[in-house]
Chain A
Amino acid sequence: MITPTHYMLLSAALFMIGVIGVVVRRNIIIIFMSIELILNAVNINLIAFSNQLHNATGQVFAVFVIAVAAAEAAVGLGIILAFYRNKETINIDEMNLMRS
């Protein structure tokens, strides 16, 4: 019997994998993809509880999360492209123009 606890554990594990990706990797595109993993983990949680409580509000919230993720991906990738055109790198340790 699959309870929402199972889904919460799955969501927590996926969330932590995303956080590890953001913290450890230096390639900024991988960092953005890890952020998408984090958003998916949140979505899984929302929909699991929407399923248990038979209330579609969780799914409406998940739709908004997907919309915001799309907006954030578009703008973030635009920033990456603009930065790459100037400095020819996608390693975030080299993106330190404001550091003295």
Chain B
Amino acid sequence: MAQAIAFYFVAACILGFAVLVISTKDTVHSVLFLVLDFLFVAALYVLMNAEFLAVIQVLVYAGGIVVLYLFVVMLVNLKRPPEAHQDPHRLSRTGPFLAAAVLLELGAIAVMGGEAGAPPAAAAAASPFCAAMTGNTEQVGCLLYTSYLIPFEIASMLLLVAMVGAIVLAKREL
């Protein structure tokens, strides 16, 4: 019961702030609503017993990525409003209606399709050694370093490449 109330409240906040993100005229306010959105998504992860992901979400997304967006927004502080010019080929009225239609379809699939029943045998796909760990952080850590070690290393190389690329792109002169 308390979990249902918490879920509905957090979900309403997430969707509300998301709508505010895409509809606010002022870019800085939009970024601030995005931060609040991410904090509520982290609260949702806590509700789903994924506390390690919740803290990583706050640390990386809300505390790192959005700070980057805020810096760029402040460095790109324009005198005239950024959306004054509009491409005449753009159909910006039909966009939301089509999106609402797709959302209805997705919702229908989610509600009516596929009875899950008993969890399939793939539930034991996580190696039994790692599944025996107690605690969310231990399980995620064990999987990251045993079964998914290669994607982990590739992700770290991806981050290195992104770091070098961002520095090269943003430098004034090489």
Contact = CB atoms under 8 A, between A and B. Distances in A.
A59 B166 contact: no
Nearest to B105: A12
Size category of the binding interface on chain B: 35 or more
A23 B100 CA distance: 13
A51 B48 contact: yes
A13 B15 contact: yes
Given A9-B111, A23-B95, A57-B125, A34 B61 contact: no
Interface of B is mostly: helix
Contacts, number: 221
A66 B60 contact: yes
Given A2-B3, A29-B27, A89-B82, A34 B22 contact: yes
A48 to B, nearest CB: 6
B111 A70 contact: no
Interface string B142-174: 011001100100010011011101111110100
Q: Which of A7, A57, A79, A94 has the most CB of B within 10 A?
A: A57
A82 B158 CA distance: 21
Contacts of B7: 2, 6
A52 B162 contact: no
A69 B65 contact: yes
B1 to A, nearest CB: 9
A71 B162 contact: yes
A9 B87 CA distance: 33
Interface string A9-33: 1101111111111011111011011
Interface string A53-77: 1111101101110111111111101
B69 interface: yes
A71 B158 contact: yes
Contact of B158 (A67, A84, A85, A93): A67
A59 B53 contact: yes
Contacts of A23: 95, 99
